[in-house]
Chains A and B, each alone.
Chain A
Amino acid sequence: MRTEPRTIINFLSNYFDIVRELFDIQMKDGLIKTEELNRILSENETDIENKLIEYKFLKKISDDYEIRPVYFKFLEFILSEFKPLLPETIEKYEHSITSLFKKIKEGISKDRNILLQRITDLNNEVRDFTDAVEKNTIRLISETKELKANVDKIDYREKVRKASFWIDYYIKPLNTILDVSHSQSITNRLLDISQYINIRRLNFEDEVTRQQFEKLYTFLVQINDDLLKQSKILTNELLPLIERIRSESLILTGWIEFLKNPNKCEVPHLTKAYRKLPQSNNPYHNALEYVEQFLQSNEIYLNEPEDALSEKWIFNKDFYLDKLKKELPQTNFFDWAGKTLRTEYKAVETEKFFSLTSLLFEEDIDLEFDNKADRQIIRTTEMNLRVPKIKVKRHGLS
């Protein structure tokens, strides 16, 4: 039965000290001997051997054990401790990257799906390559810092021997892989690829493929920056290693050891600034806080009060039309409208007055007015209106 993933993670967390110790042994010896495993378990007074196998953390190899690669890589990553890869292992990426690139160029106008798959594969291959370079640089920096700190108190001759080993087998070859001025370096190959992809991302006809080229191009630009950074570290920090280990200082050893995990070490206990001042000793932050309140760009909405909404007058046309019809005939429609509003609301509001005016346009209303007659003035709350006298007949009768 498949184990619940959370159970495995909790298990690794609960027994992390043991896991860490097993990782260190495998990192050093390549495998974990049964007696080593038993020793660790008995020292920690626990018997989790079955669980380590059940959760597929350990794999039995003959009489010994091995941490499964997926867990080993995970631990390498979270502990930032990597097994150094020989440069020839990294160089293999040159062949895979070159071959994929060649196939992309050759098949550029052939099957679209194959082309898309090749672009994705190239992306993955470049990512694996840069991961390998980064891991090696981290490991090499860590090794050189160890040599510089020299906590093991090895003598100068041994230090030089170790430094030469790292330089000859790892640092120089890695530098060749990353060196832009070296025509065969992978970095140079990636630059060529980047140029080609740059053109394709702009002019390729199919949109989906164009987007994939765009994605790969952005990735390659970022990778180029990362590799330059790694190359700089190699040139500045790792290649001059022999020079650097010539001098030794107890203080520097202390700093290198401290910087390995600075948040876990005891440091001198200075006091916090204790004195309380009547004025602020943080004028910058106080001023910033004051200014920031005016920088808020949130939009402000003003909602009308709900009761105002309920007070809004709605014209009930049917009601007023009935009223008008009942009171027909009218010799002066606007007089009638004014009086009606005044009776109901004690004032003639313009909006209401105009609403009543709309009754004149009803189909079954007959109108009659003298165009030459004097206009009369109706006073509303907002204005004075000059209106004609309009007669409204009752169903055709005057």
Chain B
Amino acid sequence: MDYPRYHRDIVNDLLDGKFVLATDAKFVELKNNGDFYGKFFKESFDFYLVIKTEYAFLISEETMESLSRDICIFLGVLCYELDKEGKNFLDEIQYAEFDQEIIDTLFENSSYIDLIQNNNQLKNSDNRKQFLGTLNRRNIIDRSSDRKFTFTPAYREFMEFARNFAKGKLQQNTVDEESQGA
């Protein structure tokens, strides 16, 4: 049996929990062989392969994985604080280069400080630095130096989550109002 080009790298990257980005040559091979890889990961590891326009990644039913929750908290606080500063947070996350110092200032002055201090990955500057290292390894951010980084398109997955979460809440509120009205 002939395997697609970069097969080994594709499998390794995805199993490392990385997002494979559209800018990566592997992405084209992965997309072109989407059916094969979808079955391969489902049958071999019980993982689901998600391929979107700009990135691909694996999801699992594993609920003990905590990184995803930490990423959501990180992005949630960051978006809220950027908005508070009067910035268009979506533009900032898509285009701006972030310095860890700015992140530290935003997080330390946040009204979500209790939540931040109770989160092991985000509670102080050193831990946040390590956390950003993890995001870098997973291709969610791209570090240009020890302290500077930009977000890769992988951030969209989490924005999508927030959008759906809001829709769910809005829907729930409408249902509640209707049931109260009835």
Interface size class for chain A?
Answer: 35 or more
A274–B86 touching, CB < 8 Å: no
| B158: Cβ under 8 A from any A Cβ | yes
A251–B68 touching, CB < 8 Å: no
Select which of A149, A256, A257, A269 is within 8 A of B68 by beta carbon: A269
List A contacts of B10 (CB < 8 A): none
B65–A262 touching, CB < 8 Å: no
Bound: A274/B45 CA distance, A: 10
* Residues of A231-284 whose CB lies within 8 A of B: 232-233, 236-237, 240, 243-244, 247, 249-259, 262-263, 265, 267-275
Bound: A257/B170 CA distance, A: 10
List A contacts of B162 (CB < 8 A): 250-252, 254-255, 258
B77–A259 touching, CB < 8 Å: yes
A259–B158 touching, CB < 8 Å: no
| A141: Cβ under 8 A from any B Cβ | yes
Known interface pairs A153-B170, A252-B79, A262-B69. Does A270 touch B115 (Cβ–Cβ under 8 Å)?
A: no
Bound: A233/B112 CA distance, A: 11
Bound: A262/B121 CA distance, A: 14
Bound: A247/B90 CA distance, A: 12
A259–B169 touching, CB < 8 Å: no
A263–B79 touching, CB < 8 Å: no
Bound: A153/B79 CA distance, A: 20
| A152: Cβ under 8 A from any B Cβ | yes
Contact with B along A149-166 (1 / 0, CB 8 A): 101110000000000000
Contact with A along B5-18 (1 / 0, CB 8 A): 00000001011110
Bound: A271/B44 CA distance, A: 14
| B173: Cβ under 8 A from any A Cβ | yes
Contact with B along A211-247 (1 / 0, CB 8 A): 0000000000000000000001100110010011001
Bound: A253/B58 CA distance, A: 27
A262–B115 touching, CB < 8 Å: yes
Select which of A237, A249, A267 is within 8 A of B84 by beta carbon: A237
Select which of A233, A244, A247 is within 8 A of B111 by beta carbon: A233
A272–B62 touching, CB < 8 Å: yes
Bound: A275/B163 CA distance, A: 32
Whole-angstrom distance between the Cβ of B179 and the nearest chain A Cβ: 13
List A contacts of B173 (CB < 8 A): 151-153
List B contacts of A265 (CB < 8 A): 165
Bound: A259/B107 CA distance, A: 14
Known interface pairs A254-B163, A262-B73. Does A236 touch B109 (Cβ–Cβ under 8 Å)?
A: yes
Count chain A CB atoms within 10 A of each CB in B17, B47, B111, B112 and give the residue with the most.
Answer: B111
A255–B86 touching, CB < 8 Å: no
A270–B59 touching, CB < 8 Å: yes
Count of A-B contacts judged by CB separation below 8 Å: 133
Select which of B12, B80, B159, B164 is within 8 A of A259 by beta carbon: B80
For residue A253, which residue of chain B has the nearest CB? Answer: B166
A267–B69 touching, CB < 8 Å: yes
Bound: A271/B77 CA distance, A: 23
Whole-angstrom distance between the Cβ of A290 and the nearest chain B Cβ: 19
For residue A80, which residue of chain B has the nearest CB? Answer: B114
Known interface pairs A259-B73, A262-B76, A272-B17. Does A267 touch B161 (Cβ–Cβ under 8 Å)?
A: yes
| B145: Cβ under 8 A from any A Cβ | no
List B contacts of A249 (CB < 8 A): 83, 89-90
Bound: A63/B156 CA distance, A: 55
A272–B80 touching, CB < 8 Å: no
Bound: A254/B172 CA distance, A: 13
A255–B69 touching, CB < 8 Å: no
Whole-angstrom distance between the Cβ of A244 and the nearest chain B Cβ: 7
Known interface pairs A141-B111, A251-B79, A252-B79. Does A268 touch B167 (Cβ–Cβ under 8 Å)?
A: no
B15–A271 touching, CB < 8 Å: yes
B163–A268 touching, CB < 8 Å: no
B76–A268 touching, CB < 8 Å: no
Bound: A233/B75 CA distance, A: 20
List A contacts of B80 (CB < 8 A): 252, 255-256, 259
Ranked 10 nearest A-B pairs via Cβ: A254-B162, A254-B166, A255-B76, A254-B165, A253-B166, A274-B15, A270-B68, A271-B60, A273-B17, A271-B58
List 30 A-B pairs, Cβ < 8 Å. A151-B173, A153-B170, A237-B111, A244-B86, A249-B89, A251-B90, A251-B162, A252-B83, A253-B169, A253-B170, A254-B164, A254-B165, A255-B79, A256-B76, A259-B115, A262-B69, A262-B72, A262-B73, A268-B72, A268-B161, A269-B62, A269-B68, A270-B65, A270-B67, A270-B68, A270-B138, A271-B47, A271-B57, A271-B62, A275-B12
With A151-B166, A254-B162, A254-B169 given, name 4 new contacts (CB 8 A): A151-B173, A262-B72, A268-B72, A268-B161
